Amino acid sequence: MRLTAFLLSLSLIAACSPSKIALRTTARLVADGRPSLHEESDPEVAKAAIPAQLKLLEGLLVSAPANPDLLAALVEGWTGYSFLFVEDEDPARGAAFYRRAAGYGLRLLARREEWRGLDAKSPDDLDVLLREAEPRDVPALYWTATAWAGWANLDKADPAALAAVPKAARFMERVLALDPAFEHGGADLFFGVYYASRPRIAGGDPTKAREHFEKVLARTGRRYLPAQYLMMRSYAAGELDEELFKRLGAEAAAADPAALPDARLANEIAKRKAKALLEKKDEIF
Per-residue pLDDT of the chain (285 residues; tens, 9 = 90+): 444 444 445 454 455 455 566 666 666 666 666 778 899 999 999 999 999 989 989 999 998 999 999 999 999 999 999 999 999 999 999 999 999 999 999 999 999 999 999 999 998 899 999 999 999 999 999 999 999 999 999 999 999 999 999 999 999 999 999 999 999 999 999 999 999 999 999 899 999 999 999 999 999 999 999 999 999 999 999 999 999 999 999 999 999 999 999 999 999 999 999 999 999 999 999
- Looking at residue 35, its pLDDT comes to 75
Contacts of 25 (CB under 8 A, 6+ apart): 13
State the CATH architecture for 43-153.
Alpha Horseshoe (1.25)
- Looking at residue 118, its pLDDT comes to 94
Asked if residues 80 and 43 have their Cβ atoms less than 8 Å apart, the reply is no
Domain coordinates of the chain in residue numbers? 43-153, 180-284
- Looking at residue 6, its pLDDT comes to 47
| CA–CA gap between residue 31 and residue 73 (Å, rounded) | 7
The pTM score is: 0.89
| CA–CA gap between residue 95 and residue 111 (Å, rounded) | 25
